[in-house]
């Protein structure tokens, strides 16, 4: 399993906030994803209605997941593919290595799969003495940079600037340093082309598994998944159990939402729908096709209070629009899935106790829920995990005490009036001549980056009572 | 029309003048306003921190104190959002209480929404000389749809010129306890907001929520900007900054 660093969110965020290069790269997200998404939505007559449909399709799949999975298995098997189930990350890796061994594969090419990041599959493959090459450009960049983890689910190397990539290619490929993005892409294509031609096995993720046909749907922009599934003899598609959709027509609806929400494209450059291995007389396709359908915590999510998170189609809109993500980037979150959806899924997949900060690391501003194409109520789900932390005694003692105290006081108006009067007096005693408090005991979280405006003078409650009394006296 | 005014705990504690400005506006608009004396806090801090038992207790208290009014008005999108969108769900296992909460929720309004859509006021007592920019607070905008209302009201203020800033809908970084738990991220978000305010060239940033107000004002002053005013919209409309 990929190493979990989510318990260090705050420390990592601190580092990222002070990384000038990263901050510059992060600022570009808004122009890249946010603006393009917005522009592309204009093409849909009824975007909100399409979101409703997308939500319904995904929810219908989850409500009877066992039925659809069985149908998928049956149909895929009938079409000549092998369907395998992995309960945990270790099983994903074992199944992949077993398949490789069975077919005598020495070199494996991969297109993007976030599920394989969960199990750190590349490390397992290399550990077994086989070669693996990532073919998604972003993933390739990270792989040759000593397996840097991805920082975004659709733009894994989003945190890297063009200059950093140019330096990296120059160093690793031993070629003259290039300046233009086109030149860099041509160089990567050249390097990857050879790998495609002599690989024994191709691994992909799966945007959707289609129950009625037993197909996998792959959504890409670089065509690398198309090559990785047609040139080698063996194709292995890995994805989560929740990626099932009942019908191809459902896929059509979801495809109106996915590329637009992700990159602001009407449609991605490539959409592959692969059903079974190459048949007799067929020219293209792998000779052997495997599906690895992964649970790895998903059925627990399905039975939990945050089950709606499984509707996710991995477009990345929630992180692109999250003001916290925009400022700290994906690495701060410390595991495979960053941003709001990651703050729900990571605690569920790696254990809440290993990711205590994540459900708290949101202002609950609600923008993620506004943009989610399948209407996942992310702020509500974060709040549910906060509730779990509170109930399970996973919050610091000081926080719990302060909250409890405030809530108790607020139940008794007399006590409340008395305490707020004291609080006003205390806060005013700390203020400078400009009415600002620069340092507060227990409040350094606030005052280290901001002043705290002091209360005006007296509480509304007291002033209002006085006015009422005065008005009572003056009236006849 | 009997209106129960919910002052909110932050206005009560930090900026009572905003409460009085709101009262003035409601009364000028023809409402018969009552300020229930036993009111305290809507429970949002507990709700967003996962303390459901205390949230339910405070919500129950609120419903009991305010359900007798024709309307409830709140000078905050965030407390308004708590009552309107989250209260009914708190009583999922108590249908009678859930119904009372739902009935109260639909009669609860954020101040600017109430002034524009219920009282339908056409003039305001305040005036302002200079440029204003408006910060859309998250809960008001996304839970209650407060967007056009404050702008329609600011357009009634003689002398006030509205100059929209970039990313006026982006969170200022307050987020309740988030501002203390994740002070560094929160401060950075506030700083981004302050930069947009500065870039707009406005003399004052106007908003509808105390949390954002304290956060933005605190960051502006720490940045060394002693000049840009941070005003609640009630202050501008009532002419009582």
Last residue of some domain: A251, A276, A300? A300
Last residue of a domain, one of B57, B86, B117: B117
Last residue of a domain, one of B117, B148, B176: B117
Q: Are residues B28 and B76 in the same domain?
A: yes
- CA neighbours closer than 13 Å in the CB half-sphere of residue B222: 22
Token digits of residue A204: 């992909």
Range of the domain at B181: 130-238
Please check whether residues B23 and B80 belong to one and the same domain: yes
- Please state, for a pLDDT cut of 70, what percent of chain B lies above it: 100
d(CA A210, CA A208) in angstroms, rounded, equals: 6
Q: Which domain holds residue A28?
A: 6-160+200-300
Task: Examine the domain organization and report whether B60 and B91 are in the same domain.
Answer: yes
Same-domain pairing of A274 and A414: no
**How many CB atoms are located within 10 Å of the residue A206 CB?**
25
Name the pLDDT band for A471 (thresholds 50, 70, 90).
confident
* A414 and A284 belong to one structural domain: no
Q: What ipTM was predicted for this assembly?
A: 0.97
Co-location of B16 and B40 in the same domain: yes
Q: What residues of A are in contact with residue B188 (Cβ under 8 Å)?
A: 17, 327, 449
B184 and B223 assigned to the same domain: yes
- Which neighbouring-strand residues pair with A86? A294
CA distances in angstroms from B111 to A260, A296, B2, B7, B108, listed in the order given = 36, 48, 15, 11, 9
CA distance A403 to B84: 22
Strands A131-134, B229-232: pairing kind? unpaired
Q: Measured between CB atoms, which of A411, A449, A458 is closest to B184?
A: A449
pLDDT in tens, A106-164: 999 999 999 999 999 999 999 999 999 999 999 999 999 999 999 999 999 999 999 99
Total tally of structural domains belonging to chain B: 2
Q: Are A389 and B204 in contact (CB under 8 A)?
A: no
Exposure b/e, A329-343, CB count within 10 A at least 16 = b: bbbbbbbbbbbbbbb
Q: Are residues A365 and B142, on separate chains, in Cβ contact within 8 Å? A: yes
d(CA B241, CA B233): 9
| Residues A89 and A1: beta-carbon distance below 8 Å | yes
Structure tokens at B16: 């009572």
Q: Are residues A266 and A406 in the same domain?
A: no
Q: Please judge whether A362 and B175 are an interchain contact, meaning their C-beta atoms are less than 8 angstroms apart.
A: yes
Question: Does position A475 have pLDDT exceeding 60, yes or no?
Answer: no
Tell me the whole-structure pTM to 2 decimals.
0.97
For position B191, which CATH number holds?
Answer: 3.40.50.10700
- A460-474 helix and B16-28 helix, angle to the nearest 10 degrees: 50
Query: What span, in angstroms and rounded, lies between the C-alpha atoms of B97 and B67?
Result: 11
At B9 the pLDDT is: 95
- Report yes or no on A313 lying in a domain: no
Q: What is the pLDDT of residue A221?
A: 96
Is there a single domain that holds both residue A215 and residue A70?
yes
Q: Write the pLDDT tens digit of every residue in A325-341.
A: 999 999 999 999 999 99
**Which of B8, B10, B12, B20 to mutate against chain A (most A CBs within 10 Å)?**
B12
Same structural domain, B196 and B111:
no
For residues B110 and B6, membership in a common domain is answered with yes
The domain boundary, picked from A281, A300, A319, lies at A300
Give the Cα separation of B72 and A318 in Å (integer): 33
Distance CA A5, CA A355 (A): 8
The CA-CA-CA angle for residues B150, B152, B154, to 5°, reads 65
Contact B175 A457 (CB under 8 A): no
- Number of structural domains (chain A) is 2
- Least confidently predicted of A58-67, A86-95, A436-445, A446-455: A436-445
Establish if B123 belongs to a structural domain.
no
Q: What tokens does B96 get?
A: 């009678």
Residue B122 lies in a domain: no
Residues of B in contact with A366 (CB under 8 A): 138-139, 142-143
Q: Which of A17-21, A28-32, A341-345 has the lowest mean pLDDT?
A: A28-32
pLDDT-derived band at A203 (thresholds 50, 70, 90) equals very high
pLDDT digits 0-9 by tens, A341-360: 999 999 999 999 999 999 99
């Amino acid at each position: 399993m990929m190493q979990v660093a989510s318990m260090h969110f705050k420390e990592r965020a601190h580092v990222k906030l002070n990384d000038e290069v990263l901050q510059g790269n992060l600022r570009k997200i808004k122009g890249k994803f946010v603006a393009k998404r917005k522009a592309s939505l204009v093409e849909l007559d009824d975007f909100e209605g399409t979101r409703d449909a997308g939500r319904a399709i995904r929810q219908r799949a989850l409500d009877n997941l066992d039925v659809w999975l069985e149908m998928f298995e049956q149909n895929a098997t009938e079409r000549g593919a092998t369907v395998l189930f992995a309960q945990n990350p270790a099983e994903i890796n074992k199944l992949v290595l077993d398949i490789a061994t069975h077919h005598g594969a020495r070199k494996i090419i991969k297109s993007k799969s976030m599920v394989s990041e969960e199990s750190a599959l590349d490390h397992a493959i290399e550990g077994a003495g086989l070669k693996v090459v990532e073919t998604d450009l972003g993933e390739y960049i990270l792989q040759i940079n000593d397996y840097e983890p991805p920082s975004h689910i659709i733009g894994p190397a989003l945190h890297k600037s063009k200059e950093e990539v140019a330096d990296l290619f120059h160093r690793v490929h031993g070629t003259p340093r290039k300046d233009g993005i086109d030149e860099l892409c041509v160089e990567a294509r050249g390097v990857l082309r050879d790998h495609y031609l002599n690989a024994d096995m191709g691994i992909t993720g799966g945007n959707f598994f289609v129950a009625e046909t037993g197909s996998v749907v792959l959504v890409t922009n670089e065509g690398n998944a198309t090559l990785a599934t047609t040139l080698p003899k063996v194709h292995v598609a890995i994805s989560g159990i929740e990626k099932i959709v009942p019908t191809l027509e459902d896929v059509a609806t979801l495809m109106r939402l996915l590329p637009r929400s992700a990159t602001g494209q009407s449609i991605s450059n490539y959409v592959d729908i692969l059903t079974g291995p190459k048949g007799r007389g067929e020219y293209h396709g792998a000779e052997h096709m495997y599906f690895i359908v992964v649970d790895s915590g998903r059925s627990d999510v399905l039975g939990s209070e945050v089950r709606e998170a499984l509707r996710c189609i991995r477009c990345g809109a929630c992180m692109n629009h999250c003001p916290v993500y925009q400022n700290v980037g994906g690495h701060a979150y410390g595991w495979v899935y960053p941003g709001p959806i990651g703050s729900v899924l990571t605690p569920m997949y790696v254990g809440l106790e290993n990711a205590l900060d994540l459900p708290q690391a949101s202002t609950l501003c609600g923008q993620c829920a506004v943009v989610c194409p399948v209407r996942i109520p992310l702020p509500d789900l974060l709040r549910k995990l906060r509730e779990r932390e509170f109930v399970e005694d996973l919050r610091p003692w000081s926080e719990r005490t302060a909250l409890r105290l405030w809530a108790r006081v607020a139940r008794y108006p007399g006590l409340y009036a008395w305490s707020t009067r004291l609080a006003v007096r205390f806060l005013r005693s700390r203020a400078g001549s400009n009415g600002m408090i620069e340092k507060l005991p227990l409040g350094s979280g606030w005052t280290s980056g901001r002043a705290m405006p002091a209360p005006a003078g007296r509480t509304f409650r007291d002033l209002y009572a006085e006015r009422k009394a005065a008005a009572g006296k003056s009236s006849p | 029309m009997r209106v129960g005014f919910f002052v909110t705990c932050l206005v009560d504690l930090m900026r009572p003048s905003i409460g009085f400005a709101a009262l003035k506006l409601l009364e000028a608009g023809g409402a018969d306003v009552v300020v229930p004396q036993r009111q305290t806090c809507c429970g949002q801090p507990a709700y967003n921190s996962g303390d459901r038992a205390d949230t339910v207790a405070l919500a129950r208290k609120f419903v009991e104190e305010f359900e007798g009014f024709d309307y409830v008005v709140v000078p905050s999108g965030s407390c308004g959002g708590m009552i309107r969108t989250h209260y009914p769900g708190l009583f999922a296992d108590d249908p009678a209480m859930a119904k009372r909460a739902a009935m109260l929720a639909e009669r609860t309004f954020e101040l600017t929404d109430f002034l524009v859509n219920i009282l339908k006021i056409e003039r305001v007592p305040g005036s302002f000389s200079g440029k204003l920019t408006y910060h859309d607070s998250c809960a008001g905008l996304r839970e209650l749809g407060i967007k056009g209302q404050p702008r329609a009201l600011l357009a009634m203020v003689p002398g006030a010129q509205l100059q929209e800033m970039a990313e006026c809908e982006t969170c200022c970084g307050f987020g309740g306890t988030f501002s203390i738990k994740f002070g560094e991220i929160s401060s950075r978000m506030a700083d981004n907001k302050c930069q947009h305010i500065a870039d707009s060239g406005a003399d004052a940033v106007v908003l509808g929520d105390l949390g954002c107000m304290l956060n933005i004002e605190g960051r502006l002053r720490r940045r060394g900007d002693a000049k840009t005013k941070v005003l609640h919209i009630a202050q501008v409309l009532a002419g009582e900054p």
